[in-house]
């Protein structure tokens, strides 16, 4: 009698889970043969069609409506599957849904999500948990520590399902990729540091019959994502079109541009939630290279980029946080102080004692400050020297902040006990800020005019420092794009010119120049034609009053 009752409970629980899953993805047409020629966007090729295409005859009424290309991804059962999708096309939503669905349907299944960093891992696992809860699964969410063979520790996130299935989320690197007996998802693989070594570490996983999922937006051609995308082909989904190729060991490839995504159900909204379109997005990005790479998913050559992605990747460190919590407090207090006393001719001094007491630094500190007011970002880059390696401790972004706020933040950092030197852009609007800083801190501050000759020296300095592996910087997409955006061109007179297009995300390569200035600040002597501007030193108590 007890055994019969337990079986009844098990049946009712399974029925409840199945009904919940039905609400998310609708009926599963993968169990039936698609209607050839009637499938929306499927080209009649006369060749073998995919076994898991959702047709226009399907009745789907999900809680969150999937686009046509997302449905294709979720229902494609190929063992090796790779996606090249436009940014913001819903990659994480579709890939995590497939894994949750697989965990529900197959008890004891394990998936490992490898993301570009801890923040990305957290977001992807959060999306997976939302899918699981939406179908009423009583999941457990755990946070643990993954200990690699070299004793390095990484944050591990885990979702445990009632049927024993699991999803594990980790930041991607060769250590975290090694040794898993699980299905693998490589999220934004083009942006993984050491992508080739990560793939090598997964080689035994591939031989164990597990599924491999790779999805990303392109980032040049010098990474493993590009190599896998251009490898053998099983079948191709190009927007609404389909082609069966049938190469043994080939990838099932899904490509979606921003235009194809919109045609297949993606809704673009502006900041106020109103309908938008691709042209408005292109005008907002205002960067032809970024548009072709991130929206049109083209693999671009890096012949003109001064810092190629593979060089930037060598100095990235996933564990570095570009804006630690103390940065937010400092900016907020600077803003409040400026608003409160800006009407006074002699405002009271801002007290940054807490920063010196609560934020410990053991090594010498160097600052680079690229100054802006209206159009670009003001960026303050803080490096700490630890055993001859320069670790980024903060990348402070001050967008359209008054000079009073910027000065409070900058001067507070230069009052730190371990501060040694700073370089500041004194071109145009930065001249007054540089002059004040030099008057207070003397020769520890260099004001640098951004002439073509000086920009050339700064550009060579940052490249040499990266090549010499002297730096550790955050693995942050905005920083990476800014560093990569500077291009070298030759003028009619044969001189080199270093510049970048202006974008909303990265300004005018402001992160690049801030980091280059921080590197210049730690130089024993100014290199090249850079001229150091010094001012007469005054008493700090007079010049810093109110800051």
What is the average per-residue pLDDT within 417-443?
Answer: 92
CB 182 within 8 A of CB 210: yes
Mean pLDDT of the chain: 81
Among 15-24, 70-79, 399-408, which is the least confidently predicted range?
15-24
Query: What phi-psi label fits residue 442: left (phi over 0), alpha (psi between -120 and 50 degrees) or beta?
Result: left
Which of 189, 271, 182 is closest to 224 using CA atoms?
A: 189
Q: Tell which wins on pLDDT, 184 or 46.
A: 184
Among 117-131, 272-286, 326-340, which is the least confidently predicted range?
272-286
pLDDT band, very low/low/confident/very high, at 15 (cuts 50, 70, 90): very low
Q: Tell which wins on pLDDT, 53 or 333.
A: 333
DSSP string, 268-305: -B-TTS-B--HHHHHHHH--HHHIIIIIS------TTB
What is the average per-residue pLDDT within 384-391?
Answer: 96
Residue 498 has pLDDT above 50, yes or no: yes
How many whole angstroms separate alpha carbon 241 and alpha carbon 249? 22
Domains with residue ranges and CATH for the chain: 21-263 (3.40.50.300), 309-543 (3.30.420.240)
pTM of the shown model: 0.61
Q: Tell which wins on pLDDT, 364 or 509.
A: 364
Residue 254 bridge partners (DSSP): 83, 237
What is the reported pLDDT for 493? 52
Q: Each residue of 149-179: pLDDT tens digit?
A: 777 888 899 999 999 999 999 999 888 888 8
What is the reported pLDDT for 264? 96
Report which DSSP code applies to 154. E
For residues 17, 22, 25, 29, the Cα torsion angle rounded to the nearest 10 degrees is 120
Residue 190 has pLDDT above 80, yes or no: yes
DSSP string, 203-227: HHHHHTT--EEEEE----SSSHHHH
Q: Each residue of 246-298: pLDDT tens digit?
A: 999 899 999 999 999 999 999 988 778 888 899 988 888 777 778 888 999 99
pLDDT band, very low/low/confident/very high, at 147 (cuts 50, 70, 90): confident
Helix (H, G, I), strand (E, B) or coil at 521: helix
What is the reported pLDDT for 8? 45
Residue 236 has pLDDT above 80, yes or no: yes
Q: How far is CA 245 from CA 68, 220, 225, 503, in A?
A: 21, 25, 20, 40
């Amino acid at each position: 009698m007890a055994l019969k009752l337990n079986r009844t409970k098990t049946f009712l629980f399974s029925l409840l889970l199945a009904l919940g899953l039905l609400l998310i993805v609708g009926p599963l047409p993968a169990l039936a043969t698609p209607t050839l020629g009637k499938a929306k966007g499927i080209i009649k090729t006369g060749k073998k069609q995919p076994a898991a295409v959702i047709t226009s005859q399907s009745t789907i009424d999900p809680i969150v409506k999937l686009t046509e290309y997302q449905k294709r991804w979720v229902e494609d059962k190929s063992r090796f599957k790779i996606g090249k999708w436009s940014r913001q096309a819903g990659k994480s939503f579709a890939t995590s849904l497939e894994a949750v669905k697989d965990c529900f349907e197959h008890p004891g299944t394990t998936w490992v999500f490898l993301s570009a960093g801890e923040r990305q891992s957290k977001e992807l696992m959060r999306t997976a948990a939302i899918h699981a809860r939406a179908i009423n699964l009583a999941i457990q969410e755990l946070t643990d520590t993954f200990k690699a063979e070299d004793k390095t520790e990484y944050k591990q996130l885990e979702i445990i399902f009632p049927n024993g299935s699991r999803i594990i989320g980790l930041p991607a690197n060769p250590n975290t990729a090694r040794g898993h007996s699980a299905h693998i998802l490589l999220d934004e693989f083009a942006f993984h540091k050491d992508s080739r070594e990560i793939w090598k570490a997964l080689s035994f996983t591939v031989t164990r019959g597990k599924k491999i999922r790779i999805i990303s937006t392109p980032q040049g051609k010098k990474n493993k994502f590009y190599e896998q995308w251009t490898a053998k082909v099983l079948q191709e989904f190009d927007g609404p079109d389909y082609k069966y190729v049938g190469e043994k060991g080939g990838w099932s490839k899904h490509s979606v541009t921003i235009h194809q995504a919109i045609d297949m159900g993606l809704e673009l909204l502006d900041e106020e939630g109103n309908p938008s379109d691709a042209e408005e997005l292109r005008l907002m990005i205002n960067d032809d290279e970024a548009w072709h790479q991130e929206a049109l998913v083209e693999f671009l050559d890096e012949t003109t980029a001064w810092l190629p992605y593979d060089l930037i990747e060598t100095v990235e460190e996933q564990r570095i946080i570009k804006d630690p919590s103390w940065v937010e407090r400092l900016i907020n207090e600077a803003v409040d102080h400026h608003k409160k006393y800006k009407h006074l001719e002699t405002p009271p001094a801002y007290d940054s004692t807490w920063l010196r007491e609560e934020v410990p630094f053991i090594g010498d500190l160097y600052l680079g400050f690229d100054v802006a007011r209206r159009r670009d970002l003001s960026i303050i880059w803080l490096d700490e020297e630890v055993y001859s390696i320069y670790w980024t401790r903060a990348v402070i972004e001050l967008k359209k902040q008054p000079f009073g706020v910027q000065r409070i933040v900058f001067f507070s950092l230069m009052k730190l006990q371990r501060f040694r030197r700073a370089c500041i852009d004194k071109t145009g609007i930065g001249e007054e800020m540089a002059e004040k800083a030099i008057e207070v801190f003397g020769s520890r501050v260099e004001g640098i005019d951004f002439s073509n000759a000086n920009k050339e020296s700064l550009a060579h300095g940052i490249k040499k420092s990266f090549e010499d592996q002297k730096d550790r910087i955050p693995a942050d997409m905005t920083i990476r794009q800014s560093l990569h955006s500077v291009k070298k061109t030759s003028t009619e007179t044969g001189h080199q010119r270093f510049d970048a297009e202006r974008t909303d995300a990265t300004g005018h390569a402001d992160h690049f120049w801030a980091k280059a200035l921080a590197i210049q600040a730690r130089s024993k002597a100014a290199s090249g034609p850079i001229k150091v501007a010094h001012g007469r030193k005054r008493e700090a108590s007079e010049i810093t009053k109110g800051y």
